[in-house]
């Protein structure tokens, strides 16, 4: 692996071999997703706690502070929308030149193994990897599952292994029963996708299981930014990923951080109220 590519990858996957990526790319096919309607407001407080941010280029340019040091993993596939019956018809949406202009640390695209568009998405992956090698840009393959596709270990191991065989530098996939098999048979780092919003305790349990079974971290979106206390939640996820916290320790941390955030908010409200009261006199 070339130095530049290794250097970029090491900004995302930290020296402990782990990463907490914050996925905010949902809008590329879902439009204004709950919690991301105002992307600036959602991203700003979470950015300091993310090892990497995964947005689209539109969100990078409109909603991410350019002075931020958080590495960007740029979503570069799309062309589909939630209105499609078959989501697999994705193509490349960003030229490598623009990814470099944005100074990103990696690019990400979805592959749809077993779908009507399998071949095209896999060839998009190889094209991106070839371009990535030319300029030292790592590629994250996202093993997407269509509306009607399963998420069992056999399928996910197949999709992850194909992505790695074709040259992906890291892979994102879902948690499943037998996840350790998926990890074991994938020769590149594997990050767990968060999936739909769960109660915080369950999402932390899922994170713990994925890490215990060999994941290099998470690329989590809704379970963080749709939480009632997103900053507390990302800190709790970090505790599991980077400090090997148990689900209970992480959930206790979440509750205590959520409590102090609430108390702080209450205090600030008090200050505002008393300032307003002063103004009346
Ligand atoms: C998946 O293909 C996209 O990258 C999603 O936008 C991302 O995985 C969503 O993250 P989560 O499922 O944790 O909300």
Structure confidence by residue, pLDDT tens digits, 141-193:
999 876 566 789 999 999 999 999 999 999 999 999 999 999 999 999 999 99
**Domain map of the chain by residue range?**
3-231
**Alpha-carbon distance values, 40 to 16, 46, 62, 102, 261 (Å):** 30, 10, 8, 17, 20
Query: How close is the Cα of 250 to the center of ligand 1, in Å?
Result: 22
Nearest CA, atom 7, ligand 1: 23
Output the pTM of the full model. Answer: 0.92
Query: How close is the Cα of 54 to the center of ligand 1, in Å?
Result: 9
For a ligand 1 pocket test, name from 193, 203, 204 the mutation site with the most ligand atoms within 8 angstroms of its C-beta: 193
3-231 belongs to CATH 3.20.20.70: yes
Query: How close is the Cα of 174 to the center of ligand 1, in Å?
Result: 10
Classify the C-alpha dihedral 164-1-102-14 as positive or negative.
positive
- What is the C-alpha separation between 111 and 246, in angstroms, rounded? 32
Residues annotated catalytic, as ranges: 172
Give me the pLDDT at residue 263, please: 80
Distance of CA 232 to the CA centre of its chain: 17
pLDDT in tens, 49-95: 999 999 999 999 999 999 999 999 999 999 999 998 888 889 999 99
Tell me the average pLDDT of the chain. Answer: 93
pLDDT > 70? residue 277: no
Nearest CA, atom 9, ligand 1: 221
Q: Would the CB of 195 count as within 6 Å of ligand 1?
A: yes
- What is the C-alpha separation between 179 and 176, in angstroms, rounded? 5
Place of tokens 């992505």: 163
């Amino acid at each position: 692996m070339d130095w530049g590519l290794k250097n970029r990858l090491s900004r995302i996957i930290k020296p402990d071999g782990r990463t907490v990526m914050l996925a905010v790319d949902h809008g590329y096919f879902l439009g204004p997703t709950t919690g991301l309607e105002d992307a600036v407001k959602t991203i700003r407080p979470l950015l300091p706690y993310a090892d990497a941010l995964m947005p689209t280029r539109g969100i990078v340019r409109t909603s991410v502070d350019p002075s931020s040091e958080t590495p960007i993993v740029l979503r570069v596939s799309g062309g589909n929308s939630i209105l499609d019956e078959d989501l697999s018809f994705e193509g490349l949406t960003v030229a490598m030149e623009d990814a470099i202009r944005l100074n990103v640390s990696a690019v990400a695209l979805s592959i749809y193994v077993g779908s009507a568009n399998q071949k095209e998405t896999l060839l998009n992956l190889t094209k991106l990897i070839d371009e990535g090698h030319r300029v030292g840009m790592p590629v994250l393959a996202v093993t997407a599952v269509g509306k009607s596709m399963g998420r069992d270990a056999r399928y996910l191991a197949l999709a992850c292994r194909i992505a790695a065989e074709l040259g992906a530098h890291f892979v994102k996939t879902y948690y499943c029963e037998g996840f350790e098999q998926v990890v074991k048979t994938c020769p590149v780092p594997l990050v767990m996708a968060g999936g739909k919003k769960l109660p915080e305790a369950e999402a932390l349990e899922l994170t713990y299981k994925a890490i215990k079974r060999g994941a290099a971290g998470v690329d989590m979106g809704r379970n963080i930014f749709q939480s009632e206390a997103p900053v507390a939640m990302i800190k709790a996820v970090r505790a599991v990923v980077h400090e090997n916290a148990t689900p209970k320790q992480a959930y206790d941390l979440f509750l205590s951080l959520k409590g102090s955030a609430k108390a702080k908010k209450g205090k600030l409200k008090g200050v505002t109220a008393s300032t307003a009261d002063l103004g009346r006199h």
